[in-house]
Amino acid sequence: MNEMSELVGILRRIDGRSYKAYRDITGTYRVGAGWIFIDHVQADPFAAPSKVRFRLNQDQSQIPEDLWESRIRRTALEDFLARRMDETIRWARPERREKGKGGLFSIDSGRQEVLERTAAVVTRLWVEVRMEIGLPATGRRVLGRKAEEMLCNALPALGEKALTWTPSVDSQGRNFVLCVENQEALRQQLEERRLVAFVGEGSILPRQSGVSDRPMGREEVVLFRSPDSLRVTLNLPNPIGAFGNGIKTISGMGIPRGVTLIVGGGYHGKSTLLRALERGVYAHIPGDGREYVVTHPDAIKIRSEDRRRVEKVDVSPFIGELPNGQSTETFSTEEASGSTSQAAAILEAIEVGARVLLMDEDTSATNLMMRDARMQALVKKQNEPITPLTDRIRGIYEEAEVSTVLAIGGSGDYFDIADTIITVQEYRAIDSTVEAKKVAMEMPNLRAFETKAPFPQVVQRIPLAHSLNPARGRWPVKIDAFKVDVIKYGETTIDLRCVEQVVDCSQTRAIGYALYLASQRFMSREATLSEVLDKIDEFFECEGLDALRQGRSQRSERDLSHPGNFARPRRHEIAAALNRLRTLLVKQQ
C-alpha cells in the first residue's frame, strides 16, 4: 500500500513521457479515509478505458447496517450507490459526456430496472465504487498534471461525496432500498396466491417513447386501475413511499394462473400492459411507475423470430411432419420460419423452467396462433403440419403447469379456452371474462380441435461444451458485449434482439461470460441445459457475480481489471442466448 504522495510523484515524473509510462501508476494508494485502486491502465489513449476503484472506510461512510442486512437490501443498496456515484460524476464533471476518452469518468449504473450488479460493493468494513477513466493525453504523451487532478483530487472528492451517508442521502437511499424490498416481497407472494402477475393501483405503464424507458408524463397518462373482480390486496414489509401513512398493504389487479387474454381495440393499450408484465420480473426504481407491477420470476416473453437458428428441439407438439419429411422431434434449422421459431421458443422456455409465457399478437406468427374453421375446411389437417396454440394452450397449463398471458385483439378463437379475459379500453382494464364466455356460447365456434393428446413432457437437451468456442484471432478467449442485444462470442455473434427481457448491456456481458464459464466447468456429457443453468445460478449465489471474471483469459490483459460491469442475468436469458449461438451442438436426452 502506498501513500497518495507516491502517486503524485509518479505522475509528475512521467508527465510528458510516452503514454505507455502510465503503466507505472498501477497499484493501491491511500487517500484520507479511503483508497484508490488503479487496477488496469489502458495501453494507449484510444484503447478501452482504464479501470479504477475508490474505496471508503465504513467509519467514514457510515451506511446504516440495516440497509444491507439481507440479500435483497444489499442488492438494492449497491445499485443505489452506483447511481449515486453516477449522479455525483455528472454533477461535478459535465464534460465527461464529451467525445474522446481523455478525462472521462464513468460508472456502470442502471436505468429503470434495479439489478444485482458489480459496480458498487458494500461490506462491513468499507464501501467501494468501480469506475472507468480515460487517462488524459496530448497526442500520445502523458498529461501528468491533468491525471493528477483527476486521480488525486477529483476521484477522492467525488467518491467521498457519493459514499458518505448524510441525512438527505439516507432518506433517498432508504426509500430506494425499502421500495425494492417491497417489490421482491410481492413477487414472492405471487406463487402462494396462485397469481402470475400483479399490477398495482395507480401504476404508470406507458413509457415516454419508443426509445425512452422513462415513464410517460403525468399529464398524458391514464393511471392503471384494477377491475373490481380482479382486485387483490397483498402485504408489504414496508409502508409505501417515504411519507406513507404506515399502511403495509397494496391493492391492484391480480392475474391468476391459467390462460389469460388481454383483448381490446387497436391502440387501446394491450401491448403496453404486456410489456409492463415482461419487465415485472425485475425490480424498478422509485418513480418508474412500474414499481408495483410484479411478475412471476419465471415469466418469459415468447415471440416469433424468423431466420434464427434452432438446434435439435422437439417441436412435435406444434409441428407435425414437414413437407421434406424432416423430423420435428429433433428439429434443427439454420433459418427458422416465423411459426417454427415461435414453437421452438415455447419449448425451449418450458425446457428450462418457464412458469408463465407472455405473448403478443404483434410479435407472433399468425399461423401458430390460430387456424379458423374456414381454413380447416380448405386445407386439410394432413396437409398442415402446424397444430395451433389454440389447441395446445390448455394442455400447456394443465399438463405442463405453465400459464400464458396473451395480448390478442384479432381473434375470438381463444374465448372458449381462456380462464381470464381482460379488455383494455382507452387504457382502462375491464374484466370481460363473463361477457366473452357468453359470446362464445352464443356464437359457437365451428372449428375442430386438432389434437386430443395431452401436452407431452418437453425433451431435455445436453449442450456440448466443445461447440462453444470463445477464441478469436490471437485471443484464446474473446467475449464482448457493447450493446444490450449482441454478444460477440469468439468468432460468432449472438443476436439477442428478440430476447426482450435482457434489459442492460451489463447483463449481456455477464451472459457471454456465463456461457464460457459453463462450457469450462458445468457442461458434461450428461448435464442437461437445465442442470447447467442450475449450476450457473448456484455459482452466482455462492461466488458472486465478481467471480465471472475467472472466465476471462489469463493471457488477456483485461484480466487484471476489476469486474465493475456485470449485472445478473436470469437463467432464462442465458438459455435464450445459448439457443441462439449459431455453433451450438446438443444431444437430446
Look at residue 220 and give the partner it binds from ligand ADP, Mg ion, none, a contact being a CB closer than 5 to 8 Å depending on partner kind: ligand ADP
For ligand ADP, the binding residues (CB under 6 A) are: 205-206, 216, 220-222, 264, 266-272, 427
CB closer to ligand ADP out of 143 and 408 = 408
Nearer to ligand ADP, 216 or 486 (CB): 216
Q: Which one, of 23, 27, 26, lies nearest residue 43 by Cα?
A: 23
One-letter identity of residue 79: D
Decide: residue 390, CB within 10 A, 0-12 exposed, 13-18 middle, 19+ buried.
buried
What's the rounded Cα separation, in Å, for the pair 533 and 179? Answer: 29
Of 272 and 328, which CB lies nearer to ligand ADP in the complex structure? 272
Distance CA(251)–CA(10), nearest Å, equals 61
Backbone angles phi, psi at 332, to 5 degrees: -125, 145
- Quick one: 192 or 219, whose CB is closer to ligand ADP? 219
Which H or E element spans position 212?
strand 212-215
Whether the CB-CB separation of 398 and 392 falls below 8 Å is answered with: no
From the CB of 295, what's the least distance to Mg ion, in Å? 18
Which of 272, 579 has the CB closer to ligand ADP?
272
Where does this chain touch Mg ion (CB under 5 A) — which range of 267-275, 294-302, 488-496, 581-589?
Answer: 267-275
Q: Which is nearer to ligand ADP, 176 or 224 (CB)?
A: 224
CB of 261 to Mg ion, least distance (A): 13
Nearer to ligand ADP, 272 or 420 (CB): 272
Place of cell 449465489: 541
Phi, psi of 61 (to 5 degrees): -80, -35
With contact defined as beta carbons under 8 Å apart, do 106 and 120 qualify?
A: no
Shortest distance, CB of residue 277 to ligand ADP, whole angstroms?
12
Q: Which residues pair with 231 in a beta bridge?
A: 253
Minimum distance of Mg ion from residue 437's CB (angstroms): 23
Q: Tell me whether residue 362 or residue 491 sits nearer to Mg ion (CB atom).
A: 362
Shortest distance in whole angstroms from residue 272 CB to Mg ion: 8
Q: Which of 362, 401, 491, 538 binds Mg ion (CB under 5 A)?
A: 362
- CB-CB contact of 159 with 233 (8 Å): no
Q: Which stretch binds Mg ion (CB under 5 A): 12-20, 265-273, 491-499, 565-573?
A: 265-273
By rule CB under 5 A, what count of residues binds Mg ion? 3
Q: Are 107 and 129 in contact (CB under 8 A)?
A: yes
Binding-site partner at residue 268 among Mg ion, ligand ADP, none, CB < 5 to 8 Å by type: ligand ADP
Cβ neighbours of residue 84 closer than 8 Å, sequence gap 6 or more: 162, 163, 169, 173
106 interacts with, out of Mg ion, ligand ADP, none, CB within 5 to 8 A per kind = none
Rounded least distance, CB 205 to Mg ion, Å:
13
| CA–CA dist 432, 28 (Å, integer) | 64
**Among positions 271, 423, 508, 579, the unique one binding Mg ion when judged by CB under 5 A:** 271
> Closer CB to Mg ion, residue 270 or residue 570?
270
> Which partner, ligand ADP, Mg ion, none, binds residue 444 by CB below 5 to 8 Å per kind?
none
* Residue (205 or 518) nearer to ligand ADP, CB: 205
CA distances in angstroms from 411 to 308, 372, 479, 499, 505, listed in the order given: 27, 9, 44, 25, 37
- Containing 214, the helix (H) or strand (E) segment is strand 212-215
Sign of CA dihedral 66, 71, 73, 76: positive
Closest to 405 (Cα-Cα) out of 390, 391, 420, 392: 420
CB of 268 to Mg ion, least distance (A): 9
Minimal distance in Å, beta carbon 424 to ligand ADP? 6
> Least distance from C-beta 544 to ligand ADP, angstroms?
38
Instruction: Say how far apart CA 570 and CA 567 lie, in whole Å.
Output: 10
Question: Does position 334 bind Mg ion by CB under 5 A?
Answer: no
CB of 408 to Mg ion, least distance (A): 9
Would you say 536 and 571 are in contact if contact means Cβ atoms under 8 Å apart?
Answer: yes
What contacts 534, CB < 8 A, 6 or more positions away? 571
- Round to whole Å and give the CA distance between 574 and 487: 11
Output the smallest distance, CB 515 to ligand ADP, in A: 33
Residue with cell 401504476: 203
Q: Which stretch binds Mg ion (CB under 5 A): 42-50, 361-369, 483-491, 531-539?
A: 361-369
Least CB distance from residue 26 to ligand ADP, whole Å?
Answer: 49
Please choose which of ligand ADP, Mg ion, none residue 442 contacts, taking the beta carbon within 5 to 8 angstroms, the exact cut-off set by kind: none
Residue 222 contact partner, candidates ligand ADP, Mg ion, none, CB within 5 to 8 A by sort of partner: ligand ADP
Minimum CB distance to Mg ion smaller for 123 or for 208: 208
215 binds, among Mg ion, ligand ADP, none (CB under 5 to 8 A by kind): none
Which of 220/442 has CB closer to ligand ADP?
220
| Residue showing cell 407431452 | 456
Q: Which does 266 bind (CB under 5 to 8 A by kind): ligand ADP, Mg ion, none?
A: ligand ADP
Picking from 176, 103, 90, the residue whose alpha carbon sits closest to that of residue 136 is 103
**Which residue reads 413477487 in cell numbers?**
187
Strand extents, DSSP E, 228-309:
231-235, 249-256, 259-263, 283-284, 293-295, 299-301
| Among the residue ranges 21-29, 319-327, 354-362, 560-568, the one whose residues contact Mg ion (CB under 5 A) | 354-362
Which of Mg ion, ligand ADP, none interacts with 427 (beta carbon under 5 to 8 A by kind)? ligand ADP
Rule CB under 5 A: which residues touch Mg ion? 270-271, 362
